[in-house]
Amino acid sequence: GQSLEQPSEVTAVEGAIVQINCTYQTSGFYGLSWYQQHDGGAPTFLSYNALDGLEETGRFSSFLSRSDSYGYLLLQELQMKDSASYFCAVEGPTGANNLFFGTGTRLTVIP
Amino acid sequence: DGGITQSPKYLFRKEGQNVTLSCEQNLNHDAMYWYRQDPGQGLRLIYYSQIVNDFQKGDIAEGYSVSREKKESFPLTVTSAQKNPTAFYLCASSPRDRGTDTQYFGPGTRLTVL
């Protein structure tokens, strides 16, 4: 089976940097994805790592270490609108491109 | 504009009634998915379909049924056999090509069973 662990809550100050960690256990690993979800809204795709290393997309970066079964999402220059839940996800074992999601990290950005 | 639509946004039903949630996409994606989300929880996969006329059970398929008669449409029926149907239901689609794992989500339907 699969399991993903991420902190349930994180609080950070506007303008600061925050890191959200994710450790995973899965058979047949293909990559680690990150999604953002505002309250009551739909998840939106942020990033995907298939290989070790850092992927940067504007203020957001994502890191993967396959040997450690670990990844993180890094948010820089935090803005109030970044307050949301962040989910890491891995692909299911059937290879059908369906995703298994973690329980999410709720980020609160304070002034 | 391309995207995924789900209707209705809010749905109320009496216990024991079947209810069908709509999901339509005009992104020309092959794969479609249904997830359930409970308060403070992640998304759990109910059913998925990689191609028309084919679908597979996800992690929590009991009490649900789907059909995929058209590429654009993937309706979900919540049956009376589902013991705790009140939840937020999200539909998603993807182009099915490997390498990005990007799924595009609809706005969701919040189902409340009274």
Averaged pLDDT for residues A48-71: 94
Query: How far is the alpha carbon of B94 from chain A, nearest alpha carbon, in Å?
Result: 8
Contact A96 B98 (CB under 8 A): no
Per the prediction, chain A carries an average pLDDT of 92
Q: Which of residues 3-62 of B touch A (CB under 8 A)?
A: 31, 33, 35, 40-45, 48, 50, 56, 58-59
Closest chain B C-alpha to A11 CA, distance in angstroms = 16
Across the range B46-50, mean pLDDT stands at: 93
Query: Which chain A residues have a beta carbon less than 8 Å from that of B40?
Result: 103-104
The reply to whether A33 touches chain B by the CB within 8 Å rule is: yes
Task: Give CA–CA dist B66/B89, Å, rounded.
Answer: 13
Q: What's the pLDDT score for residue B99? A: 52
Confidence of residue B1 (pLDDT cuts 50, 70, 90): low
Residue B32 above 60 pLDDT? yes
Per-residue pLDDT at A97: 65
Q: Which residue of A lies nearest to B102 if distances are taken between CA atoms?
A: A45
User: pLDDT by residue (tens digit) across A66-89?
Assistant: 999 999 999 999 999 999 999 999
Q: 3-class DSSP state for residue B111?
A: strand
Asked if the model's pLDDT at residue A15 lies above 70, the reply is: yes
The 10s digit of each residue's pLDDT in B49-97 is 988 999 999 989 999 999 999 999 999 999 988 889 999 999 999 986 6
Statement: residue A54 has pLDDT above 80 = yes
| Residue B98 confidence (pLDDT) above 70 | no
- The minimum CA-CA distance between A77 and chain B, rounded to whole Å, is 25
Distances from the Cα of A30 to the Cα of B3, B38, B42, B97, B99, angstroms: 26, 27, 20, 13, 8
Q: How many CB atoms lie within 10 A of CB B82?
A: 22
Q: What is the mean pLDDT of chain B?
A: 91
pLDDT of residue A59: 96
Q: What is the 3-state secondary structure (H, E, C) of chain A?
A: CCEEECCCEEEEECCCCEEEEEEEECCCCCCEEEEEECCCCCCEEEEEECCCEEEEECCEEEEEECCCCEEEEEECCCCHHHCEEEEEEEECCCCCCCEEECCCEEEEEEC
The alpha carbon of residue B17 is apart from the nearest alpha carbon of chain A, in Å, by 25
User: Quick one: closest CA in A to B33, which residue?
Assistant: A98
